[in-house]
Each structure stands twice: as C-alpha cells, then as structure tokens.
Amino acid sequence: MEFISSIRTLLQEIEERGHYLEERSSILQTILDNIPVAIIGTNRYGKINIFNKEAEVLTGYEASDVFSKPLSFLYGKRDYNKIKEGLATDNRVEIETFLINKEGNKIPIHAIISKVDERDIGIIGFYTKSKKEREEIYQSLLKNALFGIYIIQEGKIVYVNPIAEKLLGYEERELIGKSINEIVHPDDVSIVKKGYITLKKAPPKYEVKLLTKNGEVRHIELMVTPITYEGKPAVLGNAIDITERKRAEEALWQSEEKYRGVIENSVEGIYRATVEGEFLEVNNAFLDIFGYESFEEFKEVVPNALNIYVNSNDRKKFLNELVKKGMVKNYEISYKKKDGGIVIVNESAWLIEKNGKKIVEGIIHDITQRKKAEEEAEFYNSLLRHDLGNKSQIILGYLELLQKYDFGGKEKELLQKALEAVRASNELISKVRFLHQIEEDEKVRSIDVDKVIKKVVQAYKGEAEKKGMEIKYSKAGIKARAGILFEEMVANIVENAINHSKGSILEISAKDEGEFCCISIEDDGKGIPDSMKRNIFNKKFKGKGSKGSGLGLYIVKKLAEKYGGKIEVKDGRKKGTRFDIYLPKNL
C-alpha cells in the first residue's frame, strides 16, 4: 500500500498547487480595492464589470447594483456622448465631466478613460473630484501601490516607486538613469531590442525576467502605457512580481510529469473510470493484463466496465461496497481478457469527485498464477494430510503388531527404529494439518479454560507418570476467546515438557491479567538456555538431539496471534522453564 500511498500524495500536491495559482488570479481585485481612485470599467460589449471600492464611495452604488449595466447608466446623455466621441477618434480621453450618483445628483469629476482591448475589458476609467485631489492621489498611488511603477524614457529609467526599488533591490538614486538593458536578463534582452519595453510596438501586457542587484532572477509581469513625461514620449509601466507563480507552475508541471511517470512505469494496472463504467484512462500494465495493444483498442472492445466482468453481479457488489465505504481494498475478482481467458486480480479502488462527477480510481494486481499455485498447494497438502496420513497409520498398525512377536536383539532394534520413523512421520503430517487449519477461517468463541486443561491433563497423565513427572492444576474459573485448536496449543507445550524438561513437577495455572487471560505452564526441569529462547518459536527450530519436526512451538505462536494474543517463554520461578500464553478474556 506504500505504492498507493505514494500515488495519492502526488495527486494532493498537484491539487494544492492548482489552488495556489487560482488564488494569485485574485490579485487584480485586491489591487483595485486598495487604490484610492474610483475605477470603473466595462467589457467589450459596454457593460460594467469593474467597480472598485472608491467607485462605490463616489457614486453611492454598490458594485452589485451596477454590474452588467451600460456605462451610460452613470452619465447624463450629453456627457456620455462626449466620451463616446472622444474614444471614437483616440484610445485615451481626459475630460472634466459629471457622474450621476445613486441619489440622482451630478458629481463634478476629472476622468481619464482608455480603451484596453483585453478579452474581458473594453474600456477602463479613473475618476477623481478635483485637480488638487488628483495630484495628491496620484502621488499616493505611486508611493503606496501594491506593485512596482516605473517610467522609461529613451531606454533609460527616469522614475521608480518604492515597490519597484524593493523588487529590484536598488535605491532610487541607483536606478535613475540606468539603461533598462542593465536589469534585463540576457535571455530577454532581445525583447528590449525589439522595442517591447519602450514605445515601439509595446504590447499592453507581457512577461520578462529581470535581475536584482544581487543577481537573483525575478519573473515580472509588465503592463505598459505610452505617456508624455515632461514633454517627451515615455512609457509608464506596472510591474507585478510573478516569480512565485512561475515556480508554482513549474512545480505543478514537474509534479504532473512525475505522476505520469509513476503511472506509466508501474507494474500494477492502474485505471480511472466513471461510476457508470466508462474508462477514462488506463496505463500500459493494465492493457498488458487484459491483452490489449492500445487504449483505443481497449475502448472499442470494452465500451463499459461491465463487459470485462466474468459475473455481472460482481460489478454491482463492487460498486455497492465502494459507494458505501468510499474505498475498497484487496477485492478479489475475475475478469475476461481479450482472448477470452480469465484473469484473477486483487483490486483496490477509491471513489473521488471531480468537476461534479464521481470517478473511480483503481489499481489491479494480477494474481492468476498465485491462485493456481495455491490450488496446487492445496491439492498436495490434501494428499499429504489424508492419503499419506492414512497409509502411514496402516504401516504403524502393522509395525505395532510385529512388536508382539519374539524377535532377536537386532530385529527388535530395527523394528523400534521403524516405529520411531513412522511416528515422526505421523507427527509431521499432524503438524501440517494444524498449519493448514491455522490458515483457514476458524470461528473464535468463548472457551472454558478449566475444561480444556483438564482434558489435556487426563490425556498426558499416564505418559507423565512413566517419566516420573506429576502434573498439577488448580481450577481457575476463567473463560478466554479462542478456537478449537486451543487444546492443541496447551497439549504441545505439555508434551514438550514431559519429553524434554527432565523435571518432576509440571504446574499449569490460569489467571486474569488486564484484558487477557494468562495460562502458565511451568516445569522444574533443566531449563532452556537464553540463546535458544530467542529462536524457540521460529519455524523448524529444534533443540539439540530433538527428533521432532520443529513446528510445534511455531504452531502455538501462530495460533496465539490468530486468537489476538501472544506467547512468551521465560525461566521458571525457581528453576526450569515457564511458557505464558496470553489470550483475550471473554468479557
């Protein structure tokens, strides 16, 4: 799932950067609302679509009152016609005129109105009340604007505001008189030479790279307007630093490329589809799994996801679970390949919403070969557990009958070895059977600990007495959560203690320990070295001289974990060894 975790992290990164770019687009509105000049603009159809805070103060209207109304709404007929006539012959009109406020009164204003010829803007006007106020506002605007403002005349800088100084890292005196070529990045000098930053063919808006005083590259968006400055032609420019936006765009592009690379090079099949079943995108591994050469071929043969299901009801079950939980993990399902063959996959999918549509994004892993291998393994396990087990029991029966005959010393020795070999074989088959049962879904239920231990004690009492060992157990009145193989767990440890501990007493006890029931099996024998304790629960680990399979304690550990518990081995209180089995209590 790390793979999937990695993929979902990349998508979140792209989405976050996309939101950042959207936020940057709102900078124009922020600038407009912070400029102390009434600004009113229209779209190319003459409908008002720009109306800043100062315009609201000047006219008494709110922006929502005038949006989409014609510009003439704010003028008397004669005053509006003068503006129309002026713009018909020139791109810029400066005029003393009147606006009509919300109360119907005429307000004397000085207006500068220009054609913009942008996609969303037809004309834009700047309105102030008097020449003195206008001059004060202009100075305030230049000094306190949120963007850099500059004037270039004959290729040299003749004015910069504080923001432009800060942007480039220079003081005003260092910039005045400097050639524009000196602060333009070498890659963009050709733009200057073609006249894009001076009066010649200057476009209204474009991007360049400028160099700061310390050599740092900044990406700048320029908006320029031809003006007359001190009686000579010049260019008034607004400079907005878009370096962070450019970095975000680059990071977004790289993230998309990285995401695309992960998808295309993945060995897992990855797809995107609508809930209705239309596939929107699949990677090459997905096409390989189903045997198709291209996405176009796949779409032609499989117009809907329902077409690849072996059982159409599986599609309904899959979608029901996906809609209910929002995600599906490790869902095993069979699909049809292009050649008609069956492919079994392990599928994980997520339900997301994009542009108002519910989309399924999924990953599939081809487990067809694994399933075949599991079926073969099950066959051989069955053969081992049943057929060979039965035949081994028959052999054991005949060998035990032969023990009744009076053989010589050599023959008896050989017979005993044969019996030991068959018994070891039977033990191995029994352990394999238990391992197989562990893998199967076993019902966990309430187990009477006293009843199970009493049964084990009765079964091994005779064998223990032969070894000179006494088994002790006091009733505890405890119930635990376990399965039918709990008895096998206890029996395995008891049998090991009888056969290998060389002790005289085996004590079995049970008690509550928090949320668990602890069953302790302790002998007073020779003990187990610490070096062996570390590996004693490993598969096929055997003590020195042991003739067992090395699976017994491994099975006990697996069972304890399956039941939600654990097993520990430690030294006995005085000597010997103690095994503690922890199982959840039956609350």
Q: Using one digit for the tens of pLDDT, what is the confidence trace for 7-37?
A: 445 445 545 555 554 554 455 666 666 777 8
pLDDT tens, residue by residue, 479-500:
999 887 788 888 888 888 888 8
Contact 50/31 with Cβ under 8 angstroms? no
The DSSP secondary-structure symbol of 471 reads E
Convert the pLDDT of each residue in 50-59 to its tens digit: 888 888 988 9
pLDDT at position 400 over 70:
no
Strands of 156-160's sheet in order across:
156-160, 148-153, 232-241, 217-229, 205-211
Question: DSSP state, 371?
Answer: H
The answer on pLDDT for 198 being more than 50 is: no
**pLDDT tens readout for residues 134-173:** 566 666 666 666 678 888 888 888 888 888 888 889 898 8
Q: Two tokens at 418?
A: 């044969």
The predicted structure's pLDDT at residue 153: 86
Confidence of residue 234 (pLDDT cuts 50, 70, 90): confident
Rounded to whole angstroms, the Cα distance separating 257 from 429 reads 55
Output the pLDDT for position 7: 45
Q: How is residue 92 written in tokens?
A: 């810029």
Q: Give the residue, 551 or 471, on which the prediction is more confident.
A: 471
Per residue in 236-263, pLDDT tens? 888 888 888 888 777 766 666 666 666 6
**The pair of three-digit structure tokens given for residue 167, joined into one six-digit string:** 């942007």
Decide if 115 contacts 87 (C-beta within 8 A): yes
DSSP string for 193-219: HTTSSSSTT--SEEEEEEE-TTS-EEE
| Higher-confidence position of 579 and 539 | 579
pLDDT of residue 528: 87
The model's confidence at residue 190, banded by pLDDT at 50, 70 and 90, is confident
Q: Which CA distances in Å does 526 have to 231, 447, 498, 532?
A: 111, 32, 12, 13
Closest CA relative to residue 286, chosen from 178, 362, 383: 362
Question: Is the entire prediction scored with pTM above 0.75?
Answer: no
% of the chain residues with pLDDT over 70? 73
Helix (H, G, I), strand (E, B) or coil at 361: strand
pLDDT bucket at 297, cuts 50 / 70 / 90: very high
How do residues 37-85 score in pLDDT, each as one tens digit? 888 888 888 898 888 888 898 899 999 999 999 988 998 888 888 888 8
Helix, strand or coil, per DSSP, at residue 97: strand
Tell me, what's the pLDDT at 11? Answer: 46
Q: Per mean pLDDT, which range of 208-222, 268-282, 438-452, 504-518 is the poorest? A: 438-452
Question: Would you state the pLDDT for residue 134?
Answer: 58
Amino acid at site 97? T
pLDDT at res. 5? 46
pLDDT reported for residue 579: 93
pLDDT mean over 360-387? 71
Average pLDDT value for the chain: 79
Three-state SS at 402: helix
Q: Is residue 432 scored above 70 in pLDDT?
A: no
**What confidence category does residue 388 fall into, taking pLDDT thresholds of 50, 70 and 90?**
low
Q: In residues, how long is the chain?
A: 587
For 317, half-sphere exposure in the C-beta direction (CA atoms, 13 angstrom radius) is 9
